[in-house]
Amino acid sequence: MKSLSPVDPTQAVPRVLAVRAEPFVDPDTAANYLRTTRRHVLEMVREGLIPGHPLDPYAKKKDWRLLLSELHAYMLRGRMKPERAWARGPLRLCSPGAIHYTPDPDA
């Protein structure tokens, strides 16, 4: 059996790589999906409330793109922040129903 080389463009593409990737969408399309405004989507992305991906991570003014599957999963989770922003430290209860985070002194 002949092995496939990832650098030789004349060889056939393995079936694993031939899977169609989900397209990134602009904030207008994401806002339409979430039934909100473009401005609100951009505010939520900047605050880290919903997952977003900048086209140029080093630009001062970011041009954001989003994946509808990530927004869908975020909405089904029902959390206030995505996983990376959710883990902020140990929980402490202050009053019934109120959850606060204790700042991590090592951070």
What does the alpha-carbon distance between residue 34 and residue 20 come to, in Å, rounded to a whole number? 24
Query: How sure is the predictor about 21, in pLDDT bands with cuts at 50, 70 and 90?
Result: confident
77 pLDDT exceeds 60? yes
Task: Provide the 10 A C-beta neighbour count for residue 54.
Answer: 13
| pTM for the full predicted model | 0.55
Averaged over 77-94, what is the pLDDT? 50
What does the alpha-carbon distance between residue 23 and residue 30 come to, in Å, rounded to a whole number? 12
Mean pLDDT lowest among 35-39, 40-44, 88-92, 101-105: 88-92
| pLDDT attached to residue 81 | 54
- Express each pLDDT in 31-75 by its tens digit: 999 999 999 999 999 998 899 999 999 999 999 999 999 999 888
Pairing between strand 53-54 and 64-65? antiparallel
Angle, CA 56 vertex, CA 86 and CA 20 arms, to 5°: 80
Give start and end residues of each alpha helix (H) in 1-107. Answer: 27-34, 38-46, 68-77, 83-86
